[in-house]
Chains A and B, each alone.
Chain A
Amino acid sequence: QSALTQPPSASGSPGQSVTISCTGTSSDVGGYNYVSWYQHHPGKAPKLMIYDVTKRPSGVPDRFSGSKSGNTASLTVSGLQADDEADYYCSSYAGSNNLGVFGGGTKLTVL
């Protein structure tokens, strides 16, 4: 069982928006603004999409956005495209004695 809880699946039609949640505790997600989201197309290297809850690395489309409320972080993908179909993982800093925790992943399907 992963430390952070994500829904196993999410879906949306092209052009629509979808939001993926990532629920932790006050010791990780709720306690720090160090939540990241990664996109993983099977067989490829995972890719950083969001860091520090809301920041996008250079090159990541602004269709991807992050937010947090309490112990739950969220990734929203707007204007869904076929290539957005992938697995998405969240991670969070979890204190000085911990290297960090991950979610179990959400498979996003573009219908």
Chain B
Amino acid sequence: EVQLVQSGAEVKKPGESLKISCKGSEYSFSTNWIGWVRQMPGKGLEWMGVIYPGDSDSRYSPSFQGQVTISADKSISTAYLQWSSLKASDTGMYYCARPTMIRGVIITIDSWGQGTLVTVSS
């Protein structure tokens, strides 16, 4: 069974940097896209972006382009979501997710991580 295990909750101040992680197991990490989905408090889900660990090809939703960096280290089967300068509006739950891609498009998400709560407050 595919497993995606995320790093623990974080409490940060505005302006600080942060990198959260998601370790995949029980599947070929290098040859499957993996991505991040945001859920702000009381709101729905939003795709942030995805990455192909095999060659680090990445795609971002327009709302998140330039705001975050998605990366992956295939040697340790781990994907990352990184902020260089957090804002209070970055507060939310962040899920890593393994999409099923067909001909380069996301059809569904077949596996999810348990979520990482990020709180940004002064």
Contacts and interface: CB of A to CB of B under 8 A. Distances in A.
Q: Do A and B come from one complex?
A: yes
Interface of A: 2, 34, 36, 38, 43-48, 51-52, 57, 89, 91, 93, 96, 98-105
Contacts of A57: 110
Interface stretch (B10-18, B24-32, B44-52, B79-87): B44-52
B106 A99 contact: yes
Contacts of A100: 47, 99, 106
Interface string B32-45: 00010100000111
Contact of B108 (A34, A99, A105): A34
A105 B44 contact: yes
Contacts, number: 68
Band of interface residues on B? 20 to 34
Contacts of B94: none
Contacts of A43: 114
Q: Is the interface of A mostly helix, strand, loop or mixed?
A: loop
A51 B107 contact: yes
A101 B50 CA distance: 14
